[in-house]
Amino acid sequence: MNISFVHAESPVWDSNRKTLYWVDALQQEVHAMKFDTMEHKMKRIEYGEVNIVMPIANSKRLLVAVRAQLFLLDMDKPGDYALRLVTSLDEGKPDNILNEGKADARGRFWGGTKGHQFNDTVEPDQGSLYCIEKPYYNKRVALRPVTISNGITWSLNSSVLYYIDSSTKMIEAFDFDLDTGEISHRRVIVNITDYGASSPAIPDGMAIDRDGMLWVALMFEGAIVRINPDLRTIVEAYRLPVSLTTSLTWGGDHLEDLIVTTSRRNLDSKKIKDEPLAGSIFILHGLGTGGVPDNLFVFDNADNY
């Protein structure tokens, strides 16, 4: 795309609508673009930082994270009428942000928070990873403490949850019980510093391909990497002409386009001049693999809630 954003994040592909959703977190915007017509819609929330968007099963509404709260969003309604509160997280920590999230194969929402951020520094150990599911959508703490809860995805058979707390510089794995939503047996898959990543680099968003390999955006490194989780090694790496790569997802008719969001958050004028494409959305073709459809959040009767 030839337009840029302050901090593009949370790309997700809706295979049913052939639509890409993403957010500009700091501008408090949710974006939607149909690939067949290139029709672009935008909704400004004006209620706080927006870091997550995802489709809801059997609904025209979307799930969005605003500050440390989850809402149902109707893109067609004006102002606050567009929002319906689902739950609040990290009560008593008003500067915390719900930073990243996805749905598992049963439609549960998994999302994590980060502590107060000043420039590029985040207060350590103030966040948590939560699981939220029907029928009451009560929150359950799955992991605590974390500093910057970030990328999350599941193995193709849903037996493993892959997870990133960016501050650790590691991609980790847990055994995952799909029936109960419980995680166990935490272990390290890859530490990015073992592969020559620069000292400020951190792992950010994450996706899985149809071959079971993980794709991770390396923030401050301007790169994305492909990881074999069984061999616990990086097998491919790609450089982008920007330094702040935030997240990625598979999209397109055959889920063979890798869509990468980027940022220009906190870049000074010289850096922006050196990186004129900072904040753009990139689409990578011909990678020899593709994705699988994203899981959808399940919220019964969402359109009437």
Share of the chain above pLDDT 70, in %: 99
pLDDT tens readout for residues 51-98: 999 999 999 999 999 999 999 999 999 888 899 999 999 999 999 999
Three-state SS annotation for the chain: CCCECCEEEEEEEECCCCEEEEEECCCCEEEEEECCCCCEEEEECCCCCEEEEEEECCCCCEEEEECCEEEEECCCCCHHHHEEEEEECCCCCCCCEEEEEEECCCCCEEEEEECCEECCEECCCCEEEEEECCCCCCEEEEEEEECEEEEEEECCCCCEEEEEEHHHCEEEEEEEECCCCEEEEEEEEEEHHHHCCCCCCEEEEEEEECCCCEEEEEECCCEEEEEECCCCEEEEEEECCCCEEEEEEEECCCCCEEEEEEECCCCCHHHHHHCCCCCEEEEECCCCCCECCCCCECCCCHHHC
pLDDT tens readout for residues 206-218: 999 999 999 999 9
* Res 2 pLDDT > 80: no
Mean of the pLDDT values across residues 280-287? 96
Q: What is the largest CA-CA distance in the chain?
A: 51
**What's domain 8-304's superfamily in CATH?**
TolB, C-terminal domain (2.120.10.30)
Share of the chain above pLDDT 90, in %: 92
